[in-house]
Amino acid sequence: MIAQPQRQAGSVSVVEVSLGDRSYPILVGRGVAAEAGSRVAALGVRAVGLVTDETVGPLHGGAVEASLSAAGLRVVRATVPAGEGSKRFDRLDALCETLLAGRLERGDAVLALGGGVVGDLAGFAAAILLRGIRFVQVPTTLLAQVDSSVGGKTGINARAGKNLVGAFHQPALVLADTALLDTLSPREMRAGYAETVKYGLIGDPDFYAWCEAQWRDVLAGGAARDRAVVESCRAKAAVVARDEREDGDRALLNLGHTFGHALERAVGYDGARLVHGEGVAIGMAQAFRFSARLGLCPPEDALRVERHLATVGLPTRPAQVPGGIGTAGTLMDAMAQDKKVRAGRLTFILAHGIGRSVVVRDVSPDDLRTFLEDDLRT
């Protein structure tokens, strides 16, 4: 008798994103990337545009391509430079031409193998190639697994700001292989952790407390890491299912992001100085400090958030960004270009406490400026 390959029971968790005829599963677990071929073939796809970057490609590209080929899928490979600089129109143009030259058809798919940049760029290409073909995410960073690969936001940056050009294009499948995270640097893991703990801060004080207790195991790997990814995907899926296009409370997911994006913009998206998750960490700490200052949130909650992020090794203050980030005016100008601006008014995600975030649509520019001026001094 020939032995069948063993599948460990319970090793793969499935989180369903419920969006009617655009619903899709997120598979979480060690080794799920090896199922890419069979899972994508089951979608009825014949050819796959495998998009990765120069860092991830050599690490994991061969295995994913082999899985796709073994399932009888034709693979069109496209590799982009690693880093935020690939989220540009000219890179999108080149990527689209590469995939079209590979003769992808309407029934085919684009598969993103990489972090948030690859997912955002490849997903946007999938959204606009032939006016939209299917999209599969195989996120390789913690940040992408818990955040950017779920929910259908895709896009590139503009001179005027980050993610200002893009599309809502839901994936047909997400394979979050937690074993792929073993190759991440500690800094990347921490940055992804910031987006993980965010779900606790938004609406789940128990998950936040669990994070405070388990963060070392989340970063180290094993069952705690899988659980953190599953809980994060569940939290995000619930919000996305309620409000796919961010007309309402999907905006809560932007906790820390209005501040964070302004910081990223102030450093010119220089990842050596500040990666996205670090910007979000500072931004979440700022959102809680600002909430406390406005009397919305108990000051002890703001302190507790700041203490936990600092314990993990994340920055919590703009002054910690190497080289500084300019003045309050610099940050306010950057915020004025944010997509979340409505009718010229700034929308912030603030908090009544840990796990009690709220959308505040009409923040006073004076309050904001005074807060930022003080916050930049400390």
Q: Which residues carry out catalysis?
A: 131, 153, 195, 236, 246, 250, 254, 257, 261, 276
Token output for 210: 């669990």
Backbone angles phi, psi at 167, to 5 degrees: -150, 155
Nearest 5°: the CA angle 262, 137, 44 is 145
Q: Which one of residues 96, 138, 274, 309 is an interface residue with a copy of itself (CB under 8 A)?
A: 96
Q: Both ends of the chain: CA-CA distance in Å?
A: 70
Specify the pairing of strand 24-29 against strand 161-168: unpaired
Token output for 96: 């689209």
Give the whole-angstrom CA distance, residue 231 versus residue 305: 19
Q: Which one of residues 1, 8, 131, 366 is an interface residue with a copy of itself (CB under 8 A)?
A: 131
Non-local CB neighbours of 327 within 8 Å, separated by 6+ positions:
376
How many residues bind a copy of itself, per CB under 8 A?
39
Q: Does 242 bind a copy of itself (CB under 8 A)?
A: no
Query: Smallest distance from the beta carbon of 144 to a copy of itself, in angstroms?
Result: 18
CB atoms within 10 A of CB 141: 27
Residue type at 376? L
Q: Does 376 bind a copy of itself (CB under 8 A)?
A: no
Q: Which one of residues 18, 62, 69, 93 is an interface residue with a copy of itself (CB under 8 A)?
A: 93
Q: Which one of residues 129, 218, 237, 331 is an interface residue with a copy of itself (CB under 8 A)?
A: 129
Specify the pairing of strand 173-177 against strand 161-168: unpaired
The residue (of 186 and 344) whose beta carbon lies closer to a copy of itself is 344
- Positive/negative CA dihedral, 90, 92, 93, 98: positive
Q: Which one of residues 58, 62, 132, 248 is an interface residue with a copy of itself (CB under 8 A)?
A: 132
Give the whole-angstrom CA distance, residue 332 versus residue 330: 6
Query: Smallest distance from the beta carbon of 158 to a copy of itself, in angstroms?
Result: 5
Only one of the segments 105-113, 256-264, 352-360, 369-377 lies at the binding site for a copy of itself (rule: CB under 8 A); that segment is 105-113
Find out whether 175 and 32 touch, Cβ atoms under 8 Å. yes
Only one of the segments 7-15, 143-151, 155-163, 255-263 lies at the binding site for a copy of itself (rule: CB under 8 A); that segment is 155-163
Q: Does 362 bind a copy of itself (CB under 8 A)?
A: no
Buried b (16+ CB within 10 A) or exposed e, 32-50: bbbbbbebbbeeebebbbb
Of residues 245-264, those binding a copy of itself (CB under 8 A): 245
Only one of the segments 128-136, 202-210, 219-227, 327-335 lies at the binding site for a copy of itself (rule: CB under 8 A); that segment is 128-136
Q: Does 307 bind a copy of itself (CB under 8 A)?
A: no
Q: Which one of residues 123, 161, 283, 355 is an interface residue with a copy of itself (CB under 8 A)?
A: 161
Residues that bind a copy of itself (CB under 8 A): 46, 89-90, 92-93, 96-97, 100-101, 103, 105-107, 124, 127-132, 153, 155, 158-161, 164-168, 245, 336-337, 339, 341-344
